[in-house]
Amino acid sequence: MLVIHGVTRSRASRIIWLCHELDLPFRQEPVIQAYRLANADARGAPPNTRSPSFLALSPAGAIPVIEDEGLVLSESLAAVMHLTRKHGGNLAPADAAEDALMLQWALYAATSIEPDALTIQMLNRPAAGAEDRALVTDAIDRLKRPLKVLEDHLAAHGHLVGGRFTAADLMMAEIVRYGWTDNRLRAAWPAVSRWLDACQSRPAFKTMWAAREAEPA
């Protein structure tokens, strides 16, 4: 059985959402980020990203990691693409061209959108000071170029690849949502907002999200 190491409040959410889309059974090992613990090295600490048993799987000490029939992958987007290709269906690429396009969108999301989207998620809070608010505004400004690309594409096509919901949409949606905690983005990019709402209305996403919400914050 597929094993997913990582709590759902992590990038493991991408893989867990995919598993629910594919009706793919998995076992989850709830490895938590070490920085969320008061003392990750204490005796009796829960399995975490500094636990020796986890570091044996992921020397970088980062979640998620999957184990799939002897294959160990420690990058969430690579895991999503691997499982999608392996198990097929409408979420998978129909041919080599779609495979390349899905990979292109995944890399675009990870390199051009995720860093600034994460800044927004981490710093955009009611108690944020002036410096943090300025950093969030800067991140929103930097996202104008990549989000314009995404907005125009979705306005024209509705989905990223093949005119249907695929793994490319799933990966992009789980990255875009980090920034959508700021209503300025939701207002500025209506096609992206409609698409994100549609992605998050899928039953598989709701199942993953309910599990995520059930975990300690």
- Cβ distance 16 to 211 under 8 Å? yes
pLDDT in tens, the chain (217 residues): 999 999 999 999 999 999 999 999 999 999 999 999 999 999 889 999 999 999 999 999 999 999 999 999 999 999 999 999 999 899 999 999 999 999 999 999 999 999 999 999 999 877 778 888 999 999 999 999 999 999 999 999 999 999 999 999 999 999 999 999 999 999 999 999 999 999 999 999 999 999 999 999 8
The amino acid occupying position 107 is: L
Q: What tokens does 55 get?
A: 């570091």
The amino acid occupying position 159 is: H
Query: Which CATH architecture fits 2-88?
Result: 3-Layer(aba) Sandwich (3.40)
Q: Do domains 2-88 and 96-205 have the same CATH topology?
A: no
Alpha helices in the chain (DSSP H): 12-22, 52-57, 76-87, 96-108, 114-123, 130-142, 144-157, 167-179, 183-188, 190-200, 203-214
Region of residue 50 (left: phi > 0; alpha: psi -120 to 50; beta: else): alpha
Q: Delimit the domains of the chain by residue range.
A: 2-88, 96-205
Report the CATH fold assignment for 96-205: Glutathione S-transferase Yfyf (Class Pi); Chain A, domain 2 (1.20.1050)
**3-class secondary structure per residue, 47-86:** CECCCHHHHHHCCCCCCCEEEECCEEECCHHHHHHHHHHH
